[in-house]
């Protein structure tokens, strides 16, 4: 395993937030990894994904949004969240100069990353990875949250479980089709929004996470300019 270090970076109008930089010895890419709405960068899923990504030569910078840093329950405004994404991308570029930049995250973190991209805030990023795109609230199917994706110019990887209650695949598949070559949809049979699977699926949760990392690096290699 490579190095792992804790760091901090500033966010406009929100002070400093914490981050963890994890870099394998032979890193090929840097992925700026945002957490979901209900848990921070130290959530077991975030730690496990970062470890699996390290195994496939992807460095990560996972970081806190200000509301988590300040121990508040309610997420920051979308503007504050996207400002944090942009600051995290800048911090990652300084931490690992020369590595191709990717960005994304779990659920809300991924959606705020693509929102930042749609607004032109993270133009140095070559691609975006969604670890479960939250297309709609549970049991309230809709597509409004995906409207901004039309303005994202870089390739996007959607990692989605068939049991994800926040993304009806019957709605997500046409969205990805409309995005054309920019969108790659990888479906994990039997996985929920947290990428946990039922025993009858024949896979363990750990195997699913390893598959997410392997799919990510193969996709990243294909989108190299």
pLDDT, tens only, 3-43: 799 999 999 989 999 999 999 999 999 999 999 999 999 99
The stretch 41-68 carries a mean pLDDT of 97
What domains are defined for the chain?
A: 3-222 (3.40.50.1820)
pLDDT at 2 over 80: no
Listing DSSP states for the chain in one string gives --EEEEEEEEETTTEEEEEEEEE-TT--EEEEEE--TTS-TTSHHHHHHHHHHHHTTEEEEEE--HHHHTT-SSPPPHHHHHHHHHHHHHHHHHHSTTSPEEEEEETHHHHHHHHHHHTTS-TT--EEEEES---SSTT----GGGGGGGG--S-EEEEEETT-TT--HHHHHHHHHHHGGGEEEEEETTB-TT--B-GGGS--HHHHHHHHHHHHHHHHHHT--
pLDDT at 192 over 70: yes
pLDDT, tens only, 69-118: 999 999 999 999 999 999 999 999 999 999 999 999 999 999 999 999 99
pLDDT at 119 over 80: yes
Residue 201 pLDDT:
81
pLDDT, tens only, 195-206: 999 888 888 999
Confidence of residue 1 (pLDDT cuts 50, 70, 90): low
């Amino acid at each position: 395993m490579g190095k792992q270090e804790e760091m901090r970076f500033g966010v406009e109008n929100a002070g400093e937030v914490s981050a963890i930089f994890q870099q394998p010895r032979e890193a090929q890419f840097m992925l700026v990894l945002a957490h979901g709405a209900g848990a921070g960068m130290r959530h077991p899923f975030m730690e496990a994904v970062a470890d699996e990504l390290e195994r496939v030569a992807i460095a990560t910078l996972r970081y806190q949004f200000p509301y988590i840093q300040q121990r508040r329950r309610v997420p920051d405004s979308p503007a504050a969240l996207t400002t944090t994404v942009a600051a995290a991308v800048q911090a990652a570029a300084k931490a690992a100069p020369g590595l191709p930049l990717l960005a994304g995250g779990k659920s809300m973190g991924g959606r705020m990353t693509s929102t930042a991209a749609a607004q032109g805030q993270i133009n140095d990023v070559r691609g975006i990875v969604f670890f479960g795109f939250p297309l709609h609230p549970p049991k309230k199917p809709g597509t409004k949250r995906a409207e901004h994706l039309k303005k994202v110019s870089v390739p996007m990887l959607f990692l989605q479980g068939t049991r994800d209650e926040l993304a009806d695949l019957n709605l997500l598949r046409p969205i990805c089709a409309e995005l054309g070559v920019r969108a790659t949809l990888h479906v994990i049979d039997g996985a929920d929004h947290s990428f946990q699977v039922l025993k009858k699926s024949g896979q363990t949760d750990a195997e699913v996470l390893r598959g997410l990392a392997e799919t990510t690096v193969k996709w990243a290699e294909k989108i190299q300019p």
